[in-house]
Structure 1
Amino acid sequence: MSLTPAGQDRPELQKAIQQIVDSGFAGVQLRVHDERGEWVGSAGVRKLGESAEPAIDGRFRIGSTTKTFTATVVLQLVAEGRIGLDSPVDDHLPRFGLDRRITVRMLLQHTSGLFSHTGEYYEDGTVVPGIPWQGQEYVDRRFHTYDPEELVRLSLSKPARFEPGADWSYSNTNYVLAKLLIEEVTGRSLAEEMQRLILRPLGLSGTVVPGTSPEIPEPHAHGYYRYEHAGRWNVVDVTRFNVSWVSAAGDMISTTEDLHTFFSALMSGKLLPDSLLAEMRTPHPKLGYGLGVFVEELDGGGTVLHHNGGFFGWAALMYSTPDGRRTLTASLTGGDAELDFAATAAAFQQAQKALVKEVFGGQAGSTEPAR
């Protein structure tokens, strides 16, 4: 299914999303804005066992794409003079006893060295688990409420990966602390500040900060998690679950249209002063992470900015050119295909590469964590 205003014909985009479904995903929604106008389409199914395709205006869980929203709120508070970008986080959140070398910038750029409460994967193959986010234990606890303070304290009970500012490592805990920082400084919830600074000004009526609610507003597709337990493969519907386990690192719900509106506005300078947008888009030399956004040079030439996201059952893509004029936003839902964790991650990366090549004319790397 596709929407092609003014007779716009983009069979290559419909083919690309159909290939993603063929690779093992249940459904895909795609929205592209470029010099040819807007194209919106979907492929696959909304729900296993049914024939209806995903709604092109459907809501979906955006995973770590949330980090760009969270980082933007922090930078807007920097612009308001409420937070210093290079101030110690401990100034605002002394109750955690954080290393005073950890700055607000380090949280947003993943250079704090803090252990990620969702677990750490080291170069030598060592895995240090955090809270359960996969397997039967995750399924059994998917409606459990985690307090963000609890997540931070779990992280702080583990050894840091490195000295603050000495390296780069993707840690979900950084963005849980960013949420607590926002709430401490403003005296309001992150959801309220998100409404004040981003959602209401941009009219993002399809975007939700769910907190501990497991619900997702209609219309929406269904996401499925396939996993092995006790020698058997199981498929569970993970459309409803309590996303407090990842908090402001990945809890939001949105639509392809809202993601387009947000990212285009952000990139074109409508949400941040030029100086702070420049800070946001200055990448760390390791994997090109700025402040809540990846900056990537395509091998065919040109630059894209992006932050994708995903966890079992759900994935989101959000890409833009630096001027905000060309964007790609998409939702992918997992199905019952026989894909383990590695195969699912590989299929996601292939889908990402294929769509970016089609829309931006260059090949994107696979540098971005799926969590």
Structure 2
Amino acid sequence: MTVRTTLVAATAVALSLALAGPAVAAAPAGGDHETTREAIEAAVKDGVPGVTATARTGHRVWATTAGVGNLKTDQPRSVHDRYRVGSITKTFVSTVLLQLEAEGRLSLDDKVAKWLPGTVRGNGHDGRRITLRRLLNHTSGIFDYTADDDFVRTYFLKDGFLEHRYDTKAPADLVAIAMTHKPDFAPGTSWNYSNTNYVLAGMVIEKVTGRPYGDEVRRRIVEPLSLNATSVPGTRVTVPGPSSRAYSKLAETTTGPTYDVTKLNPSLAFSAGEMISDSSDLNRFYSALLRGKLLPPKQLKEMKTTVPVEVIPNAGYGLGLIDRKLSCGVHVWGHGGGIHGSTSEAVTTADGRHSLALNFNGDWSGDTDAVIEAEFCGKES
């Protein structure tokens, strides 16, 4: 789920503690990745504790790290680190729903109330007027439960998080929080990113299939692609190894103490952002997706049909997939994700040939856009 635990803007901003370590290269891909490495090291100088990144071009792989994975021991990050991927989960969820559509088990034009009667109701919300498609492209108008003030205080600020980090939240409870607010707009009249949309999408998958959405992700995507570092943790509070620690300010500012937030119950994100993966797996997933290995042509075209996104320049939002035009004219498709102590990006070119995935193990600083620009355009943004 895209949640900035410091409550700053949608991309991370400055940090007071810089612990730069030497970059570590593995399996050079041919071609010059020096500008990518420079952008990664700049993020550490800006305050990100550590970065891990992997680029893939065809069968050639280049991977690097900078900074540290543990502030206490100075242990470096690893190119094999697993990490919480936040809203990158949304692309997996959307893929499953589109597969179900291809099988004739649902239609994206179905109303939410068909599958979840009475769930989206209250304060102007009406699931009888919202299609599944509007959930996936964030044009539903449904309020984002992570923007609720009480939820923020309980799960994203220091006192609340330290007391409630192991709480289990049911997806229906997360939706119920959103229903205590008015919609952001009438369905289809605007765009606003709402994690509630994808909690509902996961609930629809479960209603249609009769199985946990995570089981469907594993059966349909993780196992066929042999994504051995990728998991849907449910209520498991730890990140499997190899992995680094995750850090946050747990505050409304980017200064002050830094807290280890590695352990948490990810049910607070559910199908909006609970998954764990590594950079190699994410590259394999997005490359396979864009190459048509997971969806028939009709459904992939639907996924790539975008609506304008004013908050991201030169970008459009499809169905759990973002199209971004970079400064050099290259288009990359993918998604970003933020959750406590973790900021991630995974993108690939339209042909799936050139992919990049990266993770910052801090949620309050650094510029992921600069790394993407450097990799695909050969310069920092």
Aligned partner of 2:370 among 354, 357, 368: 354
**CA offsets per residue over residues 43-78 of structure 1, 9 Å max, x none?**
111201223211111100001111111111111111
Alignment of 1:34 with 2:62, yes or no, is no
Structure 2 counterpart of 1:313, one-letter code: G
By how many angstroms is 1:208 displaced? 0.8
By how many angstroms is 1:353 displaced? 2.1
Corresponding residue SS for 2:333: strand
Corresponding residue SS for 1:234: coil
Partner of 1:328: 356
Whole-angstrom CA distance in 2 between matches of 1:228 and 1:54: 25
Partner of 1:101: 129
Alignment of 1:2 with 2:25, yes or no, is yes
Which segment drifts farther, 304-313 or 94-103?
Answer: 94-103
Aligned partner of 2:206 among 183, 186, 208: 183
Alignment of 1:313 with 2:336, yes or no, is no
**CA offsets per residue over residues 208-257 of structure 1, 9 Å max, x none?**
1011110110110001112459xx93332111101111111110000001
**CA offsets per residue over residues 246-270 of structure 1, 9 Å max, x none?**
1111100000011001000001110
Whole-angstrom CA distance in 2 between matches of 1:242 and 1:328: 28
By how many angstroms is 1:354 displaced? 1.5
Whole-angstrom CA distance in 2 between matches of 1:240 and 1:154: 24
5 Å matches for 1:105-120?
A: 105-119=133-147
Q: Would you say how many aligned residue pairs link Structure 1 and Structure 2? A: 344
**CA offsets per residue over residues 288-343 of structure 1, 9 Å max, x none?**
11100111222321211121111231111101111110111011111xxxxxx8xx
Evaluate the alpha carbon distance shift between residue 7 and residue 95 of structure 1 in structure 2; reply closer, same or farther with a 3 A threshold.
closer
By how many angstroms is 1:7 displaced? 7.5
By how many angstroms is 1:94 displaced? 0.7
Whole-angstrom CA distance in 2 between matches of 1:161 and 1:292: 19
Contact 1:321–1:327 (CA<8 Å) still a contact in 2? yes
Whole-angstrom CA distance in 2 between matches of 1:257 and 1:228: 32
Contact 1:299–1:362 (CA<8 Å) still a contact in 2? no
TM-score calculated relative to the size of structure 1: 0.87
Alignment of 1:81 with 2:109, yes or no, is no
Alignment of 1:133 with 2:155, yes or no, is yes
**CA offsets per residue over residues 25-57 of structure 1, 9 Å max, x none?**
111111011269210111111201223211111
Whole-angstrom CA distance in 1 between matches of 2:49 and 2:251: 19
Whole-angstrom CA distance in 2 between matches of 1:36 and 1:192: 30
Partner of 1:299: 327
Which segment drifts farther, 19-28 or 256-265?
Answer: 19-28
Whole-angstrom CA distance in 2 between matches of 1:10 and 1:65: 24
Aligned partner of 1:157 among 180, 203, 214: 180
Whole-angstrom CA distance in 1 between matches of 2:162 and 2:134: 32
Structure 1 spans left out of the alignment, 5+ residues: 121-127, 335-340, 366-371
Whole-angstrom CA distance in 1 between matches of 2:57 and 2:355: 7
Evaluate the alpha carbon distance shift between residue 258 and residue 277 of structure 1 in structure 2; reply closer, same or farther with a 3 A threshold.
same
Evaluate the alpha carbon distance shift between residue 6 and residue 63 of structure 1 in structure 2; reply closer, same or farther with a 3 A threshold.
closer
Whole-angstrom CA distance in 2 between matches of 1:159 and 1:362: 45
Partner of 1:258: 281
Partner of 1:214: 237
Identity of aligned residues (%): 39
Partner of 2:15: none
Whole-angstrom CA distance in 2 between matches of 1:108 and 1:361: 29
Partner of 2:37: 14
Aligned-CA RMSD value: 2.2
By how many angstroms is 1:362 displaced? 7.5
Whole-angstrom CA distance in 2 between matches of 1:139 and 1:66: 25
Whole-angstrom CA distance in 2 between matches of 1:314 and 1:12: 23
Contact 1:298–1:364 (CA<8 Å) still a contact in 2? no
Evaluate the alpha carbon distance shift between residue 4 and residue 43 of structure 1 in structure 2; reply closer, same or farther with a 3 A threshold.
same
Aligned partner of 1:290 among 284, 297, 318: 318
Partner of 1:202: 225
By how many angstroms is 1:150 displaced? 0.5
Whole-angstrom CA distance in 2 between matches of 1:160 and 1:228: 27
